[in-house]
Copies of this chain bind each other. A is one copy, B any other.
Amino acid sequence: MLVNMKGKDVICTQELSVQEINALLKLAKEMKADRYGDKYNQLIKDQTFLMFFFNPSLRTRISFESAATELGGHAQFLEPKTMRLKKTSGGVEVQAGETIEDAAQVLARYACGMGIRILETSVENYGDGNALLREYAKWMDVPIINMADDKYHPCQGLSDVMGMQEHKGDLKGKTILMTWAHGALARSYCSVHENLLITSRLGMNVKLAYPKGYDLPEEEIAKVKVNCEANGTKFEIINDPDVGYTNDVEFVYSRNWFGPDFYKIGKEAEIARASKMTDWICTQERMDHTNNALYIHPMPVDRGKEVTDEVASGPNSIIVNIAENRLHTQKAIMAMTIAGMKVEI
């Protein structure tokens, strides 16, 4: 089957078909094996990819900019705070400026595609970031790539499963433990959501562990359940830091995320609460109860809180490899959506 994604936006892997996910993963692996090869380095030659960072991120910026460079193009690092956009509140204009309709249509004339990063700290309510990204997608006739918003992070999810496949082959029927961890960073949902969605989509059993009060949004959990049902796999929620580490688990992902009342109580209160739950950490002792599980994490890692140094720097940690995969999956996304490269799966 020949997969064609030309012109498609990439906002969440759940909105791609499994065939599209598999095509992207196949291409990303081929690109990794032939990094500067002639096969790929002209795909967006002389073209401009725009990167809109409402939230700063060095790693995402570097990996996207490198991706464009390696495909022969050029990525521009942009901070939209210097754009003067019209703002309204309750139907009344509170800041004179340009509409997204106007701005987006012009940007599409200059660029072959655009990435947007907008996290919870740049918006007032959960989902506003994702909505803004979709507003740009509506007005632009070139592909929009989600570089992490307040709901999803498709490039991270693809990089996770690419790394998992590189080390363990087909993921079908294998089990992942996603576990909350304490820490002082009040982290976004996006990487966690995306991992739950894409691993369940690709046929894995999913165990989700977190302390009471740290439920993830219901609508995302509902999607994960549907994915598992469709694949005949298991989905389990555990409110204990220990019992998820069982001998069927082949991957462990420990990560801090904020509670559902974060938007109300704010960052400091969230950090104060989360910092107390020091038993929520991935340790070697816990890992020893698994099936020699690999440790994964989207990085940056909050060592000593999300995971011990022993695990993070240990032989079963594949975090740096997964981080590297960001480059390759992003190249694959650009190649297929922008350059229209077709992939046989």
Contact = CB atoms under 8 A, between A and B. Distances in A.
Contacts of A132: none
**Copies of the protein in its oligomer:** 3
Contacts of A69: 46-48, 73-74
B324 A109 contact: yes
Interface stretch (A93-101, A146-154, A282-290): A93-101
A50 B77 CA distance: 14
A97 B300 contact: yes
A298 to B, nearest CB: 11
B56 A46 contact: no
B183 A98 contact: no
B74 A46 contact: no
A78 interface: yes
B36 A102 contact: no
B82 A58 contact: yes
B96 A62 contact: no
B106 A324 contact: yes
A83 B56 CA distance: 8
Contact of A36 (B47, B98, B302, B303): B47
Contacts of A303: 86, 99, 102
A58 B86 contact: no
A72 interface: yes
Interface residues of A, number: 60
B65 A76 contact: yes
A301 interface: yes
A109 B48 contact: no
A111 interface: yes
B65 A106 contact: no
Given A96-B185, A96-B302, A110 B66 contact: yes
Nearest to A321: B109
A127 interface: no
A159 B84 CA distance: 22
Interface of A: 36, 41, 45-48, 50, 56-59, 61-63, 65-66, 69-70, 72-74, 76-78, 80, 82-84, 86, 93, 96-99, 101-103, 105-107, 109-111, 183-185, 299-305, 312-313, 319-320, 323-324, 327
| List of 9 A-B pairs having minimum Cβ-Cβ separation, nearest first | A98-B300, A109-B324, A96-B184, A56-B82, A48-B66, A106-B323, A69-B74, A66-B110, A58-B83
